[in-house]
Chains A and B, each alone.
Chain A
């Protein structure tokens, strides 16, 4: 009986065609930590690729006092609804011995092109728990492999050859996620009316949650605040 009710409520949500957006920004408070300098002495190819000193992207605070590379996503409230992955591919590049983007969001089943744009050996070691972990080498420039991740999770990717290289991939079973960029803001577009738990994730500062209610009016704001140490 409970299941029928649950199912009925799911149906109610999905049949309501009114949809809204959730927007907001990730505010960073306190002093931004000095980013670590990446020493690429071990591989001359990497060293040559950069004229300026390169710094790590663990914590990137934007000029407007917001935090970059935060994933914001709907954690709870969509019920059992399934979404088809978009047809377009995402790109995960290794260029200048740095993963670009540093934080990537994809949908389950969406294709990701993992590309090596450096004339040196890179390997992509995914430290995933839900999805099968792999560790594959791309010794040539321009090598490309297309991968799909079928289970939602956020996991680290690292390169064993170049220990400074690290990135994160967030896999979601729905399209309501966003990664903050240089302005530290995000938008989750076209959420059906209903109540949701929205979570923000950052590789160093962890997760935060917020409850939002999307109704017919269509626009909801939810800001998150991270504190530096």
Chain B
């Protein structure tokens, strides 16, 4: 535990700790307000019809808030020095080598996918997906007030994508990834000599299909199997469309918008499934899954 407290209170980790606390706080705040709004006819925010000018009534509050934050930062700077590490040396890189905290989620994804997927495709999809939100979100409700009932899908997807995936991957990367990017529980010491079990196998190998042939080329059977798994997973989208094609919401959304949403959503869930496939088998003493689909160009 002592080690964990050390890691927790390292000057460069304190913002992450604060991030965690503030995420929980704001989620709780949202939840309380949304629940109250959902239980009454009119949201609280809609009742406030008393409007005032931004200047000076908002600006003065912001000004005071600025002062308060500055006071906090000044005191912070007295206590916590800028965290510097050793001089850069190309012959001797630090271990663990960690990305800036806001990229730790991406770095963590590298554990589960090959660099091409984790480093290029998925970040691009995140950006594209964020850009697509205004175009695919056709639900006009929830503007300017807290609500859950009226935006269940949007809220849940956000909570899952941001809080669970993004924030918790950052927390995991900061606090639980030690030397060699090995996983350490909070109560464990970061041992540079730690030896981890390396028994990952590809999914096809569960079914006795080796990924590679003896001459180290990719086994076509495994390739087809992997492709089937991936495409099968993405087939959930069309199937769901086919089943629900007559629903009002589907009609409103239209095929194109649905295709985008379902692709992005499934990709996000796929990421989680891959993490589960990698981590969960360890608990049952089974070899973890390395890749689902191995191709000469990328691995999923």
Is there a contact between chains A and B in the complex with CB atoms less than 8 Å apart?
Answer: no
The residues of A with any CB-CB pair to B shorter than 8 Å are none
